[in-house]
A and B are shown apart, each in its own frame.
Chain A
């Protein structure tokens, strides 16, 4: 697989603060790639350097093997960048915004309809952007960044400040973008979002990439225990502790929590005893990965 994006030793300093500290990223063709980290970790600065908006102090970023800095007009039609939701021309309607961007990229105006369908804004086409809701603005902003059918798409915190319903709608749109074969780079501080959407995740903190892998590998790589939760009347605590594979059992607030590294025999034994009341199984999450890597609780 060829890498669509390559960065080599990116460094960006603001005074004493090193916002981006020797970042190396490789993103293969068609990957949904997530830059995950708390606010202020350096995600956005890294993304802006790759987009060619910001000049790095050291290192270089390449897209399709071409340098992105200084402004490379040959590269621009191949990349799509979604910015903050407010980056629109004042007092234009949804349709007029898309038309303007279509013309800036010199693509057929038929793309406007395709984009409106894709982000579900057909019935809002005559509405001025100032009158859209936050989620609608985000979707329009994504439509504007995809109007020219780019091969690589950059999304900077696309679901920030959206309500849960709007977030889920947007996730469907983002999956569809990636399913069409585009390479997608996303920054987010939501663990669940990264886990659900991304093929590859780079965890970034204090300007450094801590690790890069698929969400599954990151989590299983921790070797973390599973937690099996039951109602307190399902089983006695002492009996639970003696089940095969159970490391520990604890009762608190009416919930019996079992810890195990091998959930299959435990679940079988529980089923045999007909003791599955209130069953919940949880595994480690990316938050546990972050905690393990940094020794700090993850605070978005």
Chain B
């Protein structure tokens, strides 16, 4: 296409020379990724603290394998001072204290933290049951092998990375469309381009190419940081994120073009974009996973373009669903792109 390459190159070079773009579209979202990544790194892996008063044969005589398992779940300290141990439980400094009198294992817990108490009770009683079975000399009739539905390595990073990537791409594509058109209208570059014998489509397409390339670079950087720094595990059809991001870029670029068309100054355009993208990011689960959110919030998320993008990214990148799970979000994103694109085309102005 006549002029397409020239326009794409000029915008690409200009984009990367702007250190602000580096910061807002790369460093800033990555800061969130690193922050959340470290904050939630050990969540779910925290051990219960248990004080063992005197000798507790059930624990002390566990077979080696069971002992290792036990140590994974409990951080055990030993004491002979029963009164002090109970006082610590009362204060909440330790989760529980355990002692054994004959064949009776006694667990002291505090009702102040019932969730922790229940966890400790349940876990310890499983070990006592196990010991009973072992003493009986009979192999167990039933065994339980519990597995999480998502992935065995499920960690918060699995949810954080796709959501933040969706936000970064949405922000990038929207700003990338809104800002240049306002700036170019103000400084008359748009008029200068209009005076060159090129098609309008070449101008829009060149901007799209730059935005898609930026989105893919954001994805590569995010995944690289997630995988190397936080042990992010990508599931089989993660590559479907590429067409997903392409459709999302189209939709958000159209939103950006509308913001650019209704704004007189770059500052106004930037404000409008922030007002659209930031609340959408919260409502779409970019910062907080929506799995435990109330159902009305999940419904709102489903009618937002960023909600669709995040859902698609989660499905394909970490939930291990097949490539076809991305098709519905992609179709909806293309629908948004079409509707917003038509509005943007109607509102588009060459001149102020």
Determine, out of B70-78, B186-194, B301-309, the stretch whose residues face the partner at the interface: B186-194
The answer to the question of B11 belonging to the interface, with a C-beta cut-off of 8 Å to chain A, is: yes
- Whether, in the assembled complex, B346 has its beta carbon less than 8 Å from a beta carbon of chain A, the answer is no
**Which A residues, 92 to 120, have Cβ-Cβ distances below 8 Å to chain B?**
92, 96-97, 99-106
A254–B48 Cα gap in the complex (Å)? 106
Q: Is A299 an interface residue (CB 8 A)?
A: no
Q: How many residues of A contact B (CB 8 A)?
A: 31
CA distance A99 to B5 in the complex (A): 11
**From A53, A88, A92, A100, contact of B191 by CB (8 A):** A53
Q: Among B2, B189, B199, point to the contact of A87 (Cβ < 8 A).
A: B189
Q: Is A92 a contact of B198 with CB atoms below 8 Å?
A: no
Given contacts A100-B6, A106-B2, contact A87 B187 (CB under 8 A): yes
Q: Is the C-beta of A91 less than 8 angstroms from some C-beta in chain B?
A: yes
A239 at the interface (CB under 8 A from B): no
The total of interchain contacts (Cβ-Cβ below 8 angstroms) comes to 72
- With A104-B3, A106-B2 known as contacts, the answer to whether A83 contacts B192 (CB < 8 A) is yes
A61 to B188, CA, bound (A): 22
Per-position 1/0 for A72-92, Cβ under 8 A of B = 011011010101101111111
Q: Taking the complex as formed, is B352 at the interface, i.e. its CB lies under 8 A from any CB of chain A?
A: no
The one of A52, A74, A84, A90 in contact with B14, judged by C-beta atoms closer than 8 angstroms, is A90
A residues less than 8 Å from B10 (CB atoms): 89, 92, 96-97, 100
Q: How far is the CA of A102 from the CA of B7 in the complex (A)?
A: 11
In angstroms, how far is the closest chain B Cβ from the Cβ of A138? 14
Q: Tell me, rounded to whole Å, the shortest Cβ–Cβ distance linking A112 to chain B.
A: 13
* B197 interface contact, C-beta 8 A: yes
Q: How far is the CB of A157 from chain B (nearest CB, A)?
A: 13
Of the residues A52, A73, A77, A81, contact of B192 by C-beta under 8 Å: A81
**Is B196 touching A76 in the complex (CB atoms < 8 A)?**
yes
Contact status of A91 and B14, CB under 8 A, knowing A103-B5, A144-B192: yes
Partner of B6, one of A54, A103, A144: A103
- Cβ contacts under 8 Å, A6 to chain B: none
Q: B183 near A: Cβ within 8 Å?
A: yes
Whether A71 sits at the interface, judged by CB under 8 Å, is yes
A51 within 8 A of B: yes
Within 8 A of A (CB), among B1-58: 2-3, 5-7, 9-11, 13-14, 17-18
Compute how far the CA of A103 lies from the CA of B11 in the bound complex, rounded to whole angstroms: 14
Contact B14 A73 (CB under 8 A): no
Interface membership of chain A positions 156-174, coded 1 if the CB is closer than 8 angstroms to chain B and 0 otherwise:
0000000000000000000
Are B194 and A71 closer than 8 Å at their CB atoms?
A: yes
- Quick one: which of B310-352 are within 8 Å of A by CB? 351
Is the beta-carbon distance between A101 and B189 smaller than 8 angstroms? no
Choose from A52, A53, A86, A97 the contact partner of B187 (Cβ within 8 Å): A86
Which residue of chain A is the closest to B183 with respect to CB atoms?
A90
> How many whole Å from A76's CB to the nearest CB in chain B?
4
- Chain A: minimal CB distance from B171 (Å): 19
- Among A92, A99, A102, the most chain B Cβ lie within 10 Å of the Cβ of A92
CB nearest to A54 among chain B residues:
B351
Q: In the complex the two chains form, is B17's CB within 8 Å of A91's CB?
A: yes
| Chain A residues near B5 (CB-CB < 8 A) | 103
Contact with A along B195-229 (1 / 0, CB 8 A): 11111000000000000000000000000000000
Q: Which residue of A lies closest to B196 (CB)?
A: A104
Residues A104 and B13 in contact in the complex (CB < 8 Å), given A81-B192, A84-B187: no
| Contact A53 B11, beta carbon cutoff 8 Å | no
B189 → chain A, closest Cβ, in Å? 5
Residue of B nearest to A78 (CB): B197
Q: Say whether A83 contacts B191, CB under 8 Å.
A: yes
Contact assessment for A77 and B195 in the assembled complex, using a CB-CB cutoff below 8 Å = no
By the criterion CB–CB under 8 Å, are B17 and A104 in contact? Answer: no
Point out the residues of chain A lying under 8 angstroms from B198, CB to CB: 104
Quick one: closest A residue to B350, CB to CB? A53
A83, A90, A100: the one contacting B18 at CB < 8 Å is A90
Question: Taking A89-B14, A92-B10 as contacts, is the C-beta distance between A104 and B193 under 8 angstroms?
Answer: yes
B188 contacts which chain A residues (CB < 8 A)?
83-84, 86-87
Instruction: Collect the chain A residues with CB atoms within 8 Å of residue B7's CB.
Output: 100, 104
In the docked arrangement, what's the CA distance between A81 and B198, Å? 15
Of residues 34 through 77 on chain A, the ones whose CB sits less than 8 Å from some CB of chain B are: 51-54, 71, 73-74, 76-77
- Closest Cβ of chain A to B119, distance in Å, is 57
Chain A contacts of B18 at CB under 8 A?
A: 90-91
Contact B195 A92 (CB under 8 A): no
Flag if B197 contacts A105 (CB, 8 Å): yes
Chosen A-B contacts, 20 in total, with CB atoms closer than 8 Å, are A53-B191, A53-B351, A54-B351, A76-B195, A81-B192, A83-B188, A83-B192, A87-B187, A87-B188, A87-B189, A88-B189, A89-B10, A91-B14, A97-B10, A100-B10, A102-B6, A103-B3, A104-B193, A104-B197, A104-B198
6 A-B pairs besides A51-B195, A71-B194, A103-B3 with CB distance below 8 A are A53-B195, A79-B195, A87-B189, A89-B189, A92-B13, A105-B197
Residues of B at the A interface (CB closer than 8 Å) are: 2-3, 5-7, 9-11, 13-14, 17-18, 183, 187-189, 191-199, 351
5 closest residue pairs by CB, A with B: A103-B6, A91-B17, A104-B196, A76-B197, A87-B188
